[in-house]
Amino acid sequence: MADTGIFATTAEVQRKVGAGVSATANVEAFINDFMCQAESLINVYCRYNFSDNYSTLNVDVKCLLKEVASNIAAIYVIQYDFTNINSRTEAEDRINVLRDAALRGLAILRDKKNQDFMTGE
């Protein structure tokens, strides 16, 4: 199976999840599904279809999309099953760090002035 996401790869998500996550959820098939959901969420939240216009975006925008999408997908992997993570608190801390970064990125992407700058309009 190959990566089907546009914004980020399975390996990029796996680097963010940390140790002890579910072996079931931390595989390409699950991460492809999580990435699809994250990309759709980003596009709808920002009211701009970055997926359709991805090839025209500059590298800075692509890297920001990669950050946000991989953070969201990593949250899905972590929350799938906390059983093998040292503690629930550790899992929640990981999720909080990823969520904060995702929300920061979403705010930047959603701002119309930033979108105009990013898309060259």
Q: Residue 57 domain-assigned?
A: yes
The answer to whether residue 89 scores a pLDDT higher than 80 is yes
**Are 72 and 49 in contact, with CB atoms under 8 Å apart?**
no
Q: pLDDT band at 3, cuts 50/70/90? A: confident
Q: Residue 73 domain-assigned?
A: yes
| Neighbouring C-alpha atoms within 13 Å toward the C-beta of 40 | 6
Q: Residue 91 domain-assigned?
A: yes
The answer to whether residue 2 scores a pLDDT higher than 90 is no
Mean pLDDT rounded to a whole number for the chain? 92
Q: E strand or H helix at 116, and its extent?
A: helix 112-119
Of 24 and 116, the one with more pLDDT: 24
> Token pair of 78, please?
């972590």
Structural domain span for residue 95:
21-119
Q: Residue 2 domain-assigned?
A: no
**Are 22 and 84 in contact, with CB atoms under 8 Å apart?**
yes
Q: Residue 1 domain-assigned?
A: no
Q: pLDDT band at 121, cuts 50/70/90? A: low
What letter does residue 6 receive in the DSSP assignment?
A: S
Q: Residue 8 domain-assigned?
A: no
Q: Residue 11 domain-assigned?
A: no
**88-109 mean pLDDT:** 96
Domain count, the chain: 1
pLDDT digits (tens, 9 = 90+) for 105-119: 999 998 878 777 777
Residue 101 falls in which region: left (phi positive, over 0), alpha (psi -120 to 50) or beta = alpha
Distance, in Å, from the CA atom of 114 to the CA atom of 9, rounded to the nearest integer, reads 25
Q: Residue 3 domain-assigned?
A: no
